[in-house]
Amino acid sequence: MYRAPRGTTDILPNDQRYWTYVHSVARDVVSRYGYKRLDTPIFEQTDLFTRGVGEVTDIVEKEMYSFLDRGGDSITLRPEGTASVCRAYLENGMHNLPQPVRLFYTSPTFRYERPQAGRFRQHHQFGVEALGEPDSYIDTEIIDMAWKFMRDLGLQNLRLLINNIGDTECRPHYLDSLRAYYDNQLTVLCKDCNQRFYRNPLRLLDCKQEICSEISLNAPRSVDYLCSGCKYHWDTLIGYLDRIELPYSIEHKLVRGLDYYTRTVFEIQPENAGSQGTILAGGRYDGLIEELQGKATPGIGFATGIERIILALKDQGVSIPEEDPIKFVLTYMGDQAKLEAVHVLSILHEAGINSIMAPSGKSLRAQMRYANNIGVSYVLVLGDEELENGSLVLKDMAGGSQRTIDLRAVVQELSSI
Which residues here bind RNA, judged by CB under 7 A? 3, 5-7, 57-59, 63, 80, 111, 113-120, 123, 125, 192, 196, 200, 203, 207-209, 256-258, 267, 274-276, 278-281, 303-305, 307-308, 333, 362-366, 368-373, 379, 381, 383-386, 393, 395, 397-400, 402
Smallest distance, RNA to C-beta of residue 140, A: 20
Q: CB-wise, 53 or 138, nearer to RNA?
A: 53
Residue type, 177: S
Smallest distance, RNA to C-beta of residue 200, A: 7
If you ran DSSP here, which 8-state letter would residue 38 be given?
-
Q: CB-wise, 190 or 250, nearer to RNA?
A: 190
Q: Which of 289, 258, 285 is nearest to 142 (CA)?
A: 285
Smallest distance, RNA to C-beta of residue 71, A: 28
How far apart CA 228 and CA 226 sit, in angstroms, is: 6
Dihedral angle over CA of 64, 302, 178, 289, nearest 10: 70
Dmax over CA atoms of the chain, in Å, equals 96
Q: CB-wise, 191 or 295, nearer to RNA?
A: 191
- Per DSSP, helices labelled H in 184-334 are 191-199, 210-217, 228-243, 288-291, 306-315
Q: CB-wise, 95 or 112, nearer to RNA?
A: 112
Asked if residue 54 lies in contact with residue 258, where contact means CB atoms within 8 angstroms, the answer is yes
Q: Is the dihedral of CA 351, 355, 361, 367 positive or negative?
A: negative
Smallest distance, RNA to C-beta of residue 236, A: 25
Smallest distance, RNA to C-beta of residue 310, A: 10
Smallest distance, RNA to C-beta of residue 3, A: 6
Number of Cβ within a 10 Å radius of residue 89: 24
Q: CB-wise, 70 or 208, nearer to RNA?
A: 208
Long-range contacts (CB closer than 8 Å, 24 or more residues apart) made by 3-11: 5/121, 6/115, 6/121, 7/113, 7/114, 7/115, 7/119, 7/120, 7/121, 7/122, 8/120, 8/121, 8/122, 9/120
> SS3 helix, strand, coil % of the chain, rounded to 5?
40, 20, 35
Q: CB-wise, 97 or 417, nearer to RNA?
A: 417
Q: CB-wise, 96 or 360, nearer to RNA?
A: 360
Q: CB-wise, 115 or 239, nearer to RNA?
A: 115
Residue type, 379: V
First to last CA, the chain: 45
Asked if residue 331 lies in contact with residue 379, where contact means CB atoms within 8 angstroms, the answer is yes
Q: CB-wise, 139 or 307, nearer to RNA?
A: 307
Residues listed for the chain: 417
Smallest distance, RNA to C-beta of residue 325, A: 14
How far apart CA 310 and CA 18 sit, in angstroms, is: 7
Smallest distance, RNA to C-beta of residue 36, A: 21
Smallest distance, RNA to C-beta of residue 96, A: 29
